[in-house]
A and B are shown apart, each in its own frame.
Chain A
Amino acid sequence: MSNKVIHAFYTDDDVLMDAVKKVKSENHHIEEVFCPFPVHGLDKAMGLAPTRLAITAFMYGVLGLCFSIWMTKYMMIQDWPQDIGGKPSFNWWSNMLAFVPILFELTVFFAAHLMVITFYMRSRIWPFKDAENPDPRTTDDHFLMEIPVHNNEEELTALLKESGAVEINIVEKH
């Protein structure tokens, strides 16, 4: 089984978008596109599923809210109730107004941090991780489209050349 892939380089986002649409319409599988900056609509053109990170952020926020409710209730009402400035400490609900800032801050804290951690884990980025872009120019001004080859090199090369690729390499992927 060969692990050959084609690396096609583009230098313009609009040309890249048209090329992606063209390659997709010819029913080839695009393994990956590396970009120096976000290209609007590229994910849709490639057929990527929408990300669900916003949904996770909502769930993490709910978790943070629940945690802060439990924390304020346990510490201020159950474990050591105190009379502070005459604020009611008999039950959580009556004292809740004074806890609103804490509830809000912890909701944001959980939602923001856990979402970012989820993003880092899902995209496999963390300290000491080695970069995986095949060419250093893809963080500067080049876009790289990676397409797996199944004995159709000539056909693909011709197609990519026609779509405006400035450089086409066939490489062995490890």
Chain B
Amino acid sequence: MSSHYEAPIREPLILGKKSYHDITEDIAKPIEGKANKNWYIAFYIALAAMLWGFGCIFYTVGTGIGTWGLNKNIQWAWDITNFVWWVGIGHAGTLISAVLLLFRQKWRMAINRSAEAMTIFAVFQAGLFPIIHMGRPWDGYWVLPTPNQYGSLWVNFNSPLLWDVFAISTYLSVSLVFWWTGLLPDFAMIRDRAVKPFQKKIYSLLSFGWSGRAKDWQRFEEVSLVLAGLATPLVLSVHTIVSMDFATSINPGWHSTIFPPYFVAGAIFSGFAMVQTLLGIMRKVTNLENYITRLHIEYMNIVIILTGGIVAIAYASEFFIAWYTASPYENYTYLSVGAATGPYAWAFYSLIFFNILTPQLLWFKKVRTSFIWSFIISIAINIGMWFERFDIIAIVLSKGHLPSTWWRFEPTFVDVGIFIGTIGFFFVLFLLYARTFPVIAQAEVKTILKSSGESYKKLRDGNHE
């Protein structure tokens, strides 16, 4: 059929000889089957980390923020580092599902579901930190525009911190409905296959009674397109606003107009690295190697090189400007000669090594098409991007305008515990998701089977390799 034509030069996105029914079977298998031993091992490790983190959170709330390593100079450190790190990770999900939809990139279909799940779970973790840092989380609703009891003093709409509240809540809720709307047909598929009554009931509830009428599909596609159009500027706005938490302050090193684009690029960079980490494992565990192929990994690596390049240029310009101003204050910013030779030199060089040098390996086709290398580099980038936020916050705050106040930050076990706890919580959610949700948008993948399926392509193009 000519309507399914795709240039022969494009490599297939679905490997093997698949029919529509095979796709259903492959996607439903991890849900209908039993979890293997590796899943349980991973789950219990994540659960233990999560519980440890919850313990540390209770300790913090019960005793106070003094349990953290903060001091009068460094008033926020790991909490805001982790917050920005997790929000940044979330960005890849929206980029894949929204921006790549607008660009009509078919390869997003195999990975958008998991990337969006990652977004939502990561934003959960991010949201925890500001709430715990309030010290009295039960008063957290004060960030909402409600009048207080002393008269009607409202929240301050001039503050980037409040912009953040609006940006993050809009981002989380819009991502959630985008994800769920896409899930409806796939839940319906699981529902219609389910044999156990309880399972049928649950998936029936989750699928909202999706029936797949022609009119529903017409609306579904329109809604997906409009949501993608709305989510694209939204995702750019979220990290822009996160960067303004710093950029609108008057601290040297933070007061920087390059922050918004640089933070957005960094967010996408780290987010793709996390998608790479998760999918590298998931395609093996769930036997979905025919859908999440080497080509998908390579495409993601290309996005990583691009966004990593933007980040590297931003670092270079920050470093240059810090030196060029010849201002003594600029010499203590996170990218400066002062930082490279000062007490935080180890953090400075970790940032350069993990974030700038390591990703350059992806220029080699052998590396970026290798699963194991992609996995290792993705872990390096995750670490590097955490250091970026830590450097921006801790190094800049450690040396203020008044040398007698110079101090350093040392995390306590509570700081570390809460961070590890959020990683555990994230993986608990992701592992449960991988067992109960259709991890690939099967309805969408079916639409590209004839154009991008290996067997169909061969049939159409002849058997040239």
Which residues of A does B touch, CB under 8 Å? 11, 13-14, 32-43, 46, 48, 50-51, 53-54, 57, 71-72, 75-76, 79-80, 82, 84-85, 87, 95, 98-99, 101-102, 104-106, 108-109, 111-113, 115-116, 119-120, 122-133, 136-141
Distance of A156 Cα from B234 Cα, bound (Å): 51
In the complex, which residues of chain A have a beta carbon less than 8 angstroms from the beta carbon of B170? 105-106, 108-109
**Of A40, A80, A130, which contacts B154 at CB under 8 A?**
A80
Please state if B19 and A79 are interface contacts (CB–CB under 8 Å).
Answer: no
A28 shortest CB reach to chain B, Å: 16
**Of B162, B192, B216, B446, which contacts A136 at CB under 8 A?**
B192
Q: Beyond A54-B225, A125-B216, list 6 extra A-B contacts (CB 8 Å).
A: A36-B443, A76-B154, A80-B151, A101-B241, A129-B209, A130-B209
In the complex, which residues of chain B have a beta carbon less than 8 angstroms from the beta carbon of A119? 181, 219-220, 223
A141 shortest CB reach to chain B, Å: 4
Q: With CB as the reference atom, state the residue of chain B lying closest to A14.
A: B1
A166 shortest CB reach to chain B, Å: 13
Please state if A139 and B212 are interface contacts (CB–CB under 8 Å).
Answer: yes
Distance of A37 Cα from B156 Cα, bound (Å): 47
In the complex, which residues of chain B have a beta carbon less than 8 angstroms from the beta carbon of A46? 214
Query: Interface residue count for B (Cβ, 8 Å)?
Result: 69
Please state if A105 and B237 are interface contacts (CB–CB under 8 Å).
Answer: yes
Within 8 A of A (CB), among B188-232: 188-189, 191-193, 204-205, 207-223, 225-227, 230-231
B341 at interface, CB cutoff 8 A: no
B20 at interface, CB cutoff 8 A: yes
Contact with A along B432-459 (1 / 0, CB 8 A): 0000000000011011001000000000
In the complex, which residues of chain B have a beta carbon less than 8 angstroms from the beta carbon of A106? 166, 170
Q: With CB as the reference atom, state the residue of chain A lying closest to B214.
A: A33
**Of A11, A51, A108, which contacts B234 at CB under 8 A?**
A108
Please state if A131 and B191 are interface contacts (CB–CB under 8 Å).
Answer: yes
Distance of A102 Cα from B144 Cα, bound (Å): 12
In the complex, which residues of chain A have a beta carbon less than 8 angstroms from the beta carbon of B444? 37
**Of B222, B230, B447, which contacts A111 at CB under 8 A?**
B230
In the complex, which residues of chain B have a beta carbon less than 8 angstroms from the beta carbon of A108? 170, 174, 230, 233-234
Distance of A14 Cα from B450 Cα, bound (Å): 10
Please state if B215 and A48 are interface contacts (CB–CB under 8 Å).
Answer: yes
A17 shortest CB reach to chain B, Å: 9
Please state if B214 and A48 are interface contacts (CB–CB under 8 Å).
Answer: yes
| A51, A57, A140: most-surrounded residue (chain B CB, <10 A) | A140
Main secondary structure of the interface of B (DSSP, over half): helix
Please state if A36 and B189 are interface contacts (CB–CB under 8 Å).
Answer: yes
In the complex, which residues of chain B have a beta carbon less than 8 angstroms from the beta carbon of A40? 3, 447
In the complex, which residues of chain B have a beta carbon less than 8 angstroms from the beta carbon of A123? 213, 215-216, 219
| A32, A35, A85: most-surrounded residue (chain B CB, <10 A) | A35
Distance of A63 Cα from B442 Cα, bound (Å): 35
B21 at interface, CB cutoff 8 A: yes
Distance of A4 Cα from B312 Cα, bound (Å): 68
Distance of A125 Cα from B219 Cα, bound (Å): 12
**Of A36, A48, A102, A122, which contacts B163 at CB under 8 A?**
A102
Distance of A53 Cα from B384 Cα, bound (Å): 43
In the complex, which residues of chain B have a beta carbon less than 8 angstroms from the beta carbon of A99? 157-158
| B3, B188, B193, B225: most-surrounded residue (chain A CB, <10 A) | B188
B21 shortest CB reach to chain A, Å: 4
Please state if B210 and A131 are interface contacts (CB–CB under 8 Å).
Answer: yes
Please state if A116 and B177 are interface contacts (CB–CB under 8 Å).
Answer: yes
A135 shortest CB reach to chain B, Å: 9
Q: With CB as the reference atom, state the residue of chain B lying closest to A125.
A: B208
Within 8 A of A (CB), among B156-186: 156-160, 162-163, 166-167, 170, 173-174, 177-178, 181, 184-185
Question: Contacts A53-B219, A75-B157, A76-B154 known; A35 to B227 CB distance under 8 Å?
Answer: no
In the complex, which residues of chain A have a beta carbon less than 8 angstroms from the beta carbon of B216? 123, 125
In the complex, which residues of chain A have a beta carbon less than 8 angstroms from the beta carbon of B241? 101
Pairs across A and B, CB under 8 Å, 29 listed: A32-B213, A32-B214, A33-B214, A36-B20, A36-B443, A38-B443, A38-B447, A41-B3, A51-B218, A51-B219, A76-B157, A80-B152, A85-B158, A98-B157, A105-B163, A105-B237, A108-B174, A108-B233, A120-B208, A123-B216, A124-B209, A131-B191, A132-B209, A138-B192, A138-B211, A139-B191, A139-B192, A139-B210, A140-B24
B402 at interface, CB cutoff 8 A: no
In the complex, which residues of chain A have a beta carbon less than 8 angstroms from the beta carbon of B1? 14
Please state if B19 and A141 are interface contacts (CB–CB under 8 Å).
Answer: yes
Please state if A139 and B185 are interface contacts (CB–CB under 8 Å).
Answer: yes
Please state if B204 and A130 are interface contacts (CB–CB under 8 Å).
Answer: yes
B255 shortest CB reach to chain A, Å: 14
In the complex, which residues of chain A have a beta carbon less than 8 angstroms from the beta carbon of B220? 38, 119
